[in-house]
Chain A
Amino acid sequence: MPPMLRSFAFVMPCVLWLFLMREFVFGLIPVNMDTNTIYGVTKFYFNNVLNGVIPLWEPFISLGRPFYAIAICNLFNPVALLVPLLKLAGMNYDHAFVAYMVFYFFIGCAGFYFLAKEILKDRLMAYLAYLGLMFSSLGASMFTQMTFLEMVVPAIWFFFFLLRFSRRQDQGNFLGLTFTVMVLISSYLPFYFMTVLLCFLLVFIFLYFKEAKKFCINKYNFVIKNWRLFVLCVIGILLAAAPLLAYKILDASGDVVAPGRHCQYSSAQECYDRTMGRQGGMAYDEITRSGTLGERLDMQYLFGNLDKISYGSDSFFFLPVWVYIVLGLSVFLQLTRLTVLLSIMAVFMGLIASGNASGFHGFLYRHIFFFAYFRNLFFLGAFLIPIVILLSVYQFQMLLRITIKDNSAKKGIIFGVTVLCLILFWFLKHFEAVPVISYVTLGTFAIASIVYYSGIVRFSHKIWAGIFAVLLILQPAWILHAYALNAKEFATVLPSMHVKPTFSWVRPQKPAVSSSRIYQFVHYEDFWYDMSMTDAPPKVGYPQSTTRWTFDLSEHTPEDVLANYAQYKIILYDDSNPVGIPVKGPSDELAVNYFDVNTLNLHADFSKPQTVVYNDSYTTSWKAYLDGVPVVLLRANEAFKGIKVPAGEHDIEFSYHPPGGSWVYITATVALFIFLLWAVFMLYWGL
Chain B
Amino acid sequence: MGSVYVILGSLMYKKILARNIVWWALLGLLLSSSVNWRLCTIERGKYLLGIFYNGYFQNASDGAVYKDYLKTHGITHEFIKENI
Binding site for B on A (CB under 8 A): 290, 292, 294-296, 298, 300-301, 305, 308-310, 312-313, 327, 330-335, 339-340, 343-344, 347, 350-351, 354, 356-360, 395, 432, 517, 520-522
Contact = CB atoms under 8 A, between A and B. Distances in A.
B68 A310 contact: no
Contact of B43 (A290, A312, A343, A358): A290
Given A347-B27, A350-B31, A358-B35, A308 B64 contact: yes
Residue from the set A351, A358, A359, A432 with the largest chain B CB neighbour count within 10 Å: A358
B35 A351 contact: yes
A333 B37 CA distance: 30
A385 B36 CA distance: 23
Contact of B34 (A292, A332, A351): A351
Main secondary structure of the interface of A (DSSP, over half): helix
Contacts of B22: 335
Contact of A295 (B30, B35, B36, B40): B40
Interface in B2-27: 18-24, 27
A630 to B, nearest CB: 48
Nearest to B33: A358
Contact of B20 (A298, A308, A332, A358): A332
B18 A294 contact: no
Which of A301, A356, A357, A522 has the most chain B CB atoms inside 10 A of its CB?
A357
B51 A295 contact: no
B74 interface: no
B57 interface: no
A294 B35 contact: yes
Sort A-B residue pairs by CB-CB distance and give the 5 closest, nearest first. Answer: A294-B40, A308-B65, A295-B43, A331-B21, A357-B36
B43 to A, nearest CB: 4
B79 interface: no
A313 B51 contact: yes
Contact of A339 (B20, B36, B44): B20
Contacts of A296: 44, 47
Contacts of B66: 310, 313
**Chain B contact residues: over half helix, strand or loop, or mixed?**
helix
B75 to A, nearest CB: 11
B69 A298 contact: yes
A294 B44 CA distance: 7
Interface of B: 18-24, 27, 30-31, 34-37, 39-40, 43-44, 46-47, 51-52, 54, 59, 62-66, 68-69, 72
Nearest to A334: B18
A292 B43 contact: yes
Contact of A294 (B43, B62, B65): B43
Given A295-B44, A351-B34, A354-B40, A313 B63 contact: yes
A301 B62 CA distance: 17
Contacts of B43: 290, 292, 294-295, 357
A300 B21 contact: no
Contacts of A432: 68, 72
Contacts of B23: 335, 339-340, 343
Contacts of A313: 51, 63, 66
B64 A290 contact: no
Contacts of B21: 331-332
A335 B18 contact: yes
A296 B59 CA distance: 20
A24 to B, nearest CB: 19
A347 B65 contact: no
Given A296-B47, A310-B66, 4 more contacts: A290-B43, A294-B40, A310-B64, A312-B62
A302 B19 CA distance: 25
B68 A305 contact: yes
B51 A522 contact: yes
A373 to B, nearest CB: 21
A230 B35 CA distance: 43
Contacts of B47: 290, 295-296
A359 B44 contact: no
Contacts of B72: 300, 432
B20 A359 contact: no
A665 to B, nearest CB: 33
A394 to B, nearest CB: 11
Contacts of B65: 301, 305, 308-310
Contacts of A295: 40, 43-44, 46-47
A331 B20 contact: yes
Contacts of B54: 520-521
18 contacts: A290-B46, A295-B43, A296-B47, A313-B66, A327-B24, A331-B21, A334-B18, A334-B20, A335-B18, A335-B22, A335-B23, A351-B31, A357-B35, A357-B40, A357-B43, A358-B36, A359-B34, A517-B62
Contacts of B44: 294-296, 298
Contact of A357 (B20, B27, B30, B37): B37
Contact of B27 (A330, A332, A334, A344): A344
Contacts of B51: 312-313, 521-522
A542 to B, nearest CB: 14
Nearest to B15: A332
A139 to B, nearest CB: 20
Nearest to A327: B24
Contacts of A351: 31, 34-35
